[in-house]
Amino acid sequence: MAKGTMTNGTNSWHVSHQRTIEYEVVNCQNIFHPQNEALLSAGKGENTRRFVIVDANVEKYFSNEIREYFDFHKVDAKILVFPSGEQNKSVENYLWILRELDSFPINRRDEPIIAIGGGVLTDIAGFVASSYRRGVPHIKAPTTLMGYIDAAVGIKTGINFNSHKNRLGSFEPPKKVLLDKSFLRTLPERHVLNGVCEMLKLAVIKDLALFELLEIHGPASINSRFQDEISASILDRSVGGMLEELQPNLFEDELARKVDFGHTFSYGLETHEEAHLLHGEAVLIDIVLSSILANARNLLSDRELDRLFELVSKLGINLNSELVTPELLWNTLEERTYHRNGLQRVPLPKGLGQCTFVNDIKFEEIQSACKILEERKKNNEPIYQY
């Protein structure tokens, strides 16, 4: 109930309401098998409809299975094929999806939008769900490793705007997130490694045990596309670690976030068109530079920094630092400072598996970190490029 007060003859009301956020993140194999009802489990009613947005690469492999699945369950499904790639996370495509949805009306509460694809698709589909009729339910089924452990498991949605990544968006919880690791079998190696970079983020900043698992089992897990038992435990540990950080701070009321490790300098690198970097590749450059900064501040030992470079080499992850300049990194840090409400709030490793936040990084430190990165390249230390 709104409470009224009278101050100097003026009425005012204080309105307070708490929204309960509940959703499930579920391991679920072979979601297109006719006997698997996971995709339909969050809706209800007979003779239902579903608006299904499918990544073009997923549709290429699973077109028949998707259509046969909905036919088997007698669901009237409109299947919209969405083009792959970060460049398609645009206002124009957001409006295109909305127009298609509006021409295929769904019941506002009982017929969730279903998003099947990578982080680009689940981000834009979530934003559509949050804004259409002021909010309709949705289900996410991530099909990339990046989406599986990072992009799809939280409640952030977004699209790119005015040459800025995720400048428009919302916080909108899904009804369910369905994690089917069998999708990872079809990924090109570069996109597997793209997701592994987000695993490295968690390992360096909060989970030494995950770091050690990647040191021992990382190469084999990449080769198997994370299909074996040990790989499954790495996936679960990564998802659990991400959710452990997200759950207490879903709406980012606290802006000092461990999961922003690797997401300070990467922002400018990723939006630098000439770089052609995937999200995880930009994050990896940030991880390395931030770790060099931590080492210079005696937060990370020489041996710990070496272990990071050795692991990057062992996993075969390509680190393309050609476009890294102190000026670009500094400009990006300034932009992130606005995003973080006036403080840098840069997460740095304090030993492997631990974190601290700093607000006083200087341009000269960034210059020094760039020089150290270049020196490692000249000395043929383990840095790879596309």
Which residues form the catalytic set? 156
> Of 321, 317, 311, 242, whose CA–CA distance to 280 is shortest?
317
Give residues with Cβ within 8 angstroms of 348, minimum separation 6: 261, 290, 291, 293, 294, 297, 299, 300, 355, 356, 357, 358
The Cα–Cα gap between 190 and 124 comes to 23
127, two tokens: 């934003």
Cα–chain-centroid distance for residue 366? 26
Report CA-CA distances (Å) from 89 to 55, 303, 344.
12, 40, 27
3-7 and 49-55 beta bridge pairing: unpaired
Burial class (CB in 10 A: 0-12, 13-18, 19+), 243: middle
Burial class (CB in 10 A: 0-12, 13-18, 19+), 105: exposed
Q: What is the residue whose two structure tokens read 């900064």?
A: 293
